[in-house]
Structure 1
Amino acid sequence: MKSSILTGILSLLILSASSQAQSGGDAAVASARKELDATSREYQAMRTALYREINTLDDEVIKLSRELKDLEREEAMRTNKLRTTERNTQILRANFDYAVGVLRQYGDNLTNRLHAAENQLYRDDLLAISEAALAAKDDPKKEMEERLQALEIGLGRLPKLAGGQKFEGKAMRNGTEAKEGEFLLMGPAAYFRASDGTFEGVTTFEENNTGIPTAVGVKVSDDGVITSAVSSGAGMLPFDPTLGKALKVEAAEESLLDVIEKGGIVGHAILLLGAVALGLTVFKVLEITRFPVPSRRRINEIIDDLVSDRQEAAKEKAASLKGLSGDMVRVGVERFYEKRRVLEEALFEKMVAIKPRLDRFLPFLGLTAAAAPLMGLLGTVLGIIKTFKAMALDSGNKQAFTVGISEALITTAEGLVVAIPVLVLHGMMKSLSKGKFSEIESIGISLINGTTELDSKEKAAMGTDDSGEDEDTELLPNPA
């Protein structure tokens, strides 16, 4: 019974729980439906809002696409403009570099085109501009500005040259002495007058190593036309179309006295030696040509008298002969009838005295011809030593070196000028002396041959024949 009661109670409980559960489930289902409806409505609202947003985004995408295309077109245009600008920049840069190069070349050439006298006006400024431009080579604008200053100097120089420009400065008087004075530039021509009034001349275009222009003195008239023109700015001026080269050549030409003066002591000694040699040559020409030599006709007459035994007549004729050759003939007349060898010795003794007389002073001529070149070489060596000493003091003065060498060579030229003619004259005097001595020898030989003729004549008169004799006729006395 109890189990039945429990079973009934349990059933009641189950039914009660089921009804409660059913009622609770219905409530949950109703709540879920409400929530589902709310969620559906919310979803629908969100979907609607999302569609709207998608449409908005689509519109924005379309707008942005259009903007993108515009930007792409603008980018392409800007790229083209950039390329065009770069090309134009390159062209302008090339033109700028070309202009700077032209200005650089102009500035460098302007320094070389300046007249030597204008260096004192413009060279320092142009060198400073060139240095500043080189320092600013990394800044094109500044370099252009520096180069333009050189152009301004060049352009400002032109009207001054055309109208004549005067300025104070220094000039080298004939390339040797610096003088203070005033310049007058007329185009490529420049004129200079010294402040002390002692010098006026035309300035050469070429520059020397001293940096000071060379002014060559010009003698136009005695009233100083260059000085007058430079002072007043008007007047007649000499014009050299060679821009000073002809004047420089003319100034370099030296007179004979100038050359002799540059020879120094050694050169003077050489010329003195040559003058003495020339004087001795003139003396020897007169002495040898005037040396008395008997004529062949006179000698034949004396020999005929001796052969014909007219000794007194022969002595009288021999007594009228002059000079050493006359003495020889007189000795021959006196010894004519003695032994032949005695006659030969007597004649030879006289000829030995004549030979030194004809040849005297000729060794001095030969010595002069040999010594003059050596003296010239000595003068050259001394001059070169002096030149190198001067170069040691001023190594940059090339002109002084070349002038010193040229002056040193003057003594060598003087030595050769003296030696060559003296050598020729010495040979001529030797030949002249030898010819004169040959004439005297022929007279002695004629006298000796006369003894042979005398011997033959005497033997023919005696009817003897000496063909078989073995005696030496020179040792036999002449028949009297």
Structure 2
Amino acid sequence: MKMKLIASALMMASVSFSSVATTELVNKAKAENAQQGQHNRTREAGFKATEQELKNLKAQLVAKRNKLQAQNDALAATFSENEDVLARLEEQLRLETGSLGEVFGVVRQNAKEIQNELNTSVTGVDAQSYNQQIDDVIAATTLPSMPQLTALWKAMEQQIKASGQIALTPVSFIDGEGKTQQVDVARLGAFGLVGDAGYVAWNGARQETKSYIKLPENGPTLASVSSLENGQIASVVLDPSRGVMLEQLALTPSFADRLQAGGVVGKIILGLLAIGVIIALVRGASLSVARQKIRAQLKNPDQPGNNPLGRILAVYDKEQNRTVEALELRLLEAVVDEQTSLEKGLSMLKLLAALAPMLGLLGTVTGMIETFQVITQFGNGDPKVMAGGISMALVTTVLGLIAAMPLLLAHNILSSQAEGIRNILEKQGIGLVAEQAEKATEPKTTQPVENAA
């Protein structure tokens, strides 16, 4: 019984506890729901405010777009109207100007030519009064005005007059040390400027002068040009190319430069030529002395001297008691000995004359090999790169021919002289043999035999 009461009490207690708990949960849920509803209403109000702002901004942008579109349409209409107006004006300008456009082109072309003349010609030293007007004509985008056209033909007239004048004018001169100083030069028309030492190069861009590297022989100087300025007649070396030939003159190689271009082979050829010339001079002097001694010996054959003919006569005096055949062989031996002495060195001359062209050919082949090597390395776009090898090839060929010709000529002349001396010796030897043979064949004198009575 008690147990039932306890159980009933427990059950009632649990029911009351669960009821209380449920009530608390419901109240809590209601409170949270109310709080969430308040939050949602706040957010919704914010969304609506943002939506309203965006709608206002859209309205502003649409209004601005409509305004810009209206402006664009107005500008497009204005542009179209301007194009029509411009086309009508251009057509009107073309009709009114007519051929003046071509005239304007010709005027600008002539102005550019005069400007180039002033920048490059020596007349720009002092004849340049209309430079600004010419620059204005070149830079103009409209038809030239009458003052500009007047300045243009006056500039032409000034250049024409300056080309026929000899005028003394000061210029800036750069000396060999790089120092700039003011000097007086004489302008020979449009051909060149002449200073104290000769022609000077004019730099129109920098308005200064400098000396040429090499000047022509008998070239004009400031002192010699002064006589022309005073009206006196004198010959003057002029450069009609306005300095181009004077610049090329500095590039013209001298004799030493050409020999240097021959290289080692060229020096060998010159050495052989020098040796050959020495041999030719020595042998020529020796043969000349021998001919003079032979002429003197022919005038006095009874006294043999120290010369080729004298030695032949000495052999005859020594061997004249021999038979004709033996004497002939002795004289022939002496002539052969003298011929060997006379022709000494001539074979070397002939060898050098034949060797010089071969060395020239060797230099040619060597120079061409060097040229092809340069072409392999740098290509053939720049001829200056190949000029060294080709120059060496040509110079050695010329040196070989130059060395061979005088050596061949000397060999021929000396051989002819030696041959002439040998002919004299052979002729005299044959004469001596003939004289000896005549002596051997003379009949002996005999006593007449008396007949017996």
Taking structure 1 as the reference length, the TM-score comes to 0.47
Taking structure 2 as the reference length, the TM-score comes to 0.50
Asked which structure has the greater CA Rg, the reply is 1
